[in-house]
Amino acid sequence: MTQTGIRPGTAQQQPATPSGTTDPRRSLLLLMAVATGLSCAGNYVAQPLLDLISRDLHLGSVLAGLVVTASQAGYALGLMLLIPLGDVLDRRRLTVLLFSATALFLTVSALAPSGPVLLAGTVLAALTSVGAQVVVAHAAALASADTRGRVVAVVMSGVLLGGLLARTAAGGLSELGGWRTAYWVLAVLMAVAAVVLHRKLPQLAVTAELRYPALLRSTLALLREEPVLRRRALLGALSLASYSVQLTALTFLLSGSPYHWSAPAIGLFGLVGAVGVVTMTFAARLGDRGHAQKVTGGGAALLVTGWLLLLAGQSSLFWLAIGVVVLNVGQQAVLNSSQTVLYALRPEARSRINSAFMTSFFLGGALGSALASVVWAAAGWTGVSTLGAALAAGALAVWTWERTR
């Protein structure tokens, strides 16, 4: 036992992959991408099922809506409280533990006899679902410096696709056996993923030695000590806030005049955003070649452009679809290039840096969603488009400020 009270993993450890050595095999990257997608899917599985859950458990609309809020709150807590552990514990063991715990808590939700039990299972499953971010940091550590952006992009594509596909899959599974079926299937898949990751995920040496309270303090200290982290955290928060405005308000637009779409049709339209995931690897390759700053600026500019197109989409499905694609491409470019920049700062503190950045990132997303609902009620799609463009312009301004520094 070390003097810090934390015993780093020792068996089969390897040093982090230095520049110029062999990167993770494609099969391993695919496994990590699928695993992160499954882990994040649990945070979205309830969204298309709220009506079914409400009727089965006799919940009011407010309590049913809290299931989504509980998922967001649990994930934010996990980002703050669990992700930093990746710097002091063997990430493979931490990943397996978190994936196993998520499978357990999804089972609790599947068996839930009442709303409070479902809320408890949802919060705990979301809390441990940050195992996906532990896998992302592990992928960055396994990669060489000149391919790290591409490797992270491949694994992060699983995170993003998991969120996009979970809604559609949950709706389909509910038709087969009710709303609980989606939870059961995901719980089983998470348990299988935990076993496979235990067998296939490489171990890496742990260098940091900190007790847990000091670990959390050091995460906050990194924000104080690293101006690049502060700027990227603000840039990321503004970019996801802008993107989340679209995610929230798009449902309002498509369900009303002139579209009058059904909920399943709106869910399928959301898959248009998957195009942004496809472009992540291209943006990552540019970042690996030393153009991360340009990729970020281009991504922020695309966010602004996307909102101009979305404004025209109020009465044109064509421009609405194009705007959604452009917004997704811009968002993924900003996210991936920011991670490329940040993972190069302090290799021994990657998990804490990821914790600080992703917490800010998702808090920005929550703010964007909340503002979108308020602005939609007051000013409709025009007001929402103005809000989204203003937030995107803020991200572009932060990038310009960073360039001058």
Q: Answer with the one of 207, 232, 264 that is the final residue of a domain.
A: 207
Residues 167 and 116 in one domain: yes
Distance, CA of 36 to CA of 40 (rounded, Å) = 6
Window from 32-41, 65-74, 240-249 with minimum mean pLDDT? 65-74
Number of domains into which the chain is organized: 2
**Residues in the chain, total:** 405
Residues 190 and 257 in one domain: no
162 token code pair: 């998991």
The answer for residues whose C-beta is within 8 angstroms of residue 70's C-beta and 6 or more apart is 119, 122, 123, 126
Distance, CA of 124 to CA of 116 (rounded, Å) = 12
Structural domain includes residue 60:
yes
Residues 339 and 241 in one domain: yes
Of the pLDDT bands very low, low, confident and very high (cuts 50, 70, 90), residue 20 is very low
When the pLDDT of each residue in the chain is averaged and rounded to a whole number, the result is: 85
Please tell me the pTM assigned to this model. 0.78
Residues 182 and 284 in one domain: no
Structural domain includes residue 2:
no
Distance, CA of 121 to CA of 96 (rounded, Å) = 19
Residue 297: domain span: 212-405
Structural domain includes residue 154:
yes
Residues 317 and 377 in one domain: yes
Distance, CA of 138 to CA of 72 (rounded, Å) = 23
Residues 96 and 37 in one domain: yes
Structural domain includes residue 4:
no
Distance, CA of 373 to CA of 371 (rounded, Å) = 6
Residues 198 and 219 in one domain: no
Residue 124 has pLDDT above 60, yes or no: yes
Distance, CA of 49 to CA of 403 (rounded, Å) = 45
Residues 298 and 381 in one domain: yes
Residue 208 has pLDDT above 70, yes or no: no
- Which of 188, 185, 180, 184 lies closest to 57 in space, CA to CA? 180
Whole-Å CA distances, 318 to 271, 277, 313, 321: 15, 20, 7, 5
In tens, the pLDDT along 242-287 reads 998 887 788 788 878 888 887 667 767 777 777 777 777 777 777 7
Distance, CA of 345 to CA of 155 (rounded, Å) = 20
- Residue 21 sits in a domain whose CATH number is 1.20.1250.20
**Quick one: pLDDT at residue 149?**
82
Distance, CA of 347 to CA of 358 (rounded, Å) = 17
Residues 21 and 124 in one domain: yes
Distance, CA of 301 to CA of 21 (rounded, Å) = 35
Provide φ and ψ at 240, rounded to 5°.
-70, -30
Distance, CA of 249 to CA of 47 (rounded, Å) = 15
Place of tokens 């998957």: 274
In tens, the pLDDT along 360-375 reads 998 888 888 888 888 9
Q: Answer with the one of 187, 207, 227 that is the final residue of a domain.
A: 207
Residues 194 and 56 in one domain: yes
Structural domain includes residue 80:
yes
Distance, CA of 235 to CA of 257 (rounded, Å) = 34
Structural domain includes residue 172:
yes
287 token code pair: 């970042």
Structural domain includes residue 3:
no
Q: Answer with the one of 182, 207, 232 that is the final residue of a domain.
A: 207
Residues 234 and 314 in one domain: yes
Distance, CA of 16 to CA of 348 (rounded, Å) = 10
Percent of the chain at pLDDT exceeding 90? 44
Q: Which of 55-59, 177-181, 388-392 has the highest mean pLDDT?
A: 388-392
Please answer whether residues 239 and 303 qualify as being in contact, where contact means their C-beta atoms are separated by less than 8 angstroms.
yes
Residues 255 and 286 in one domain: yes
Of the pLDDT bands very low, low, confident and very high (cuts 50, 70, 90), residue 22 is low
Provide φ and ψ at 203, rounded to 5°.
-95, 150
Distance, CA of 390 to CA of 405 (rounded, Å) = 23
Structural domain includes residue 162:
yes
Please state the rounded mean pLDDT for residues 185-201.
Answer: 96
Please answer whether residues 107 and 382 qualify as being in contact, where contact means their C-beta atoms are separated by less than 8 angstroms.
no
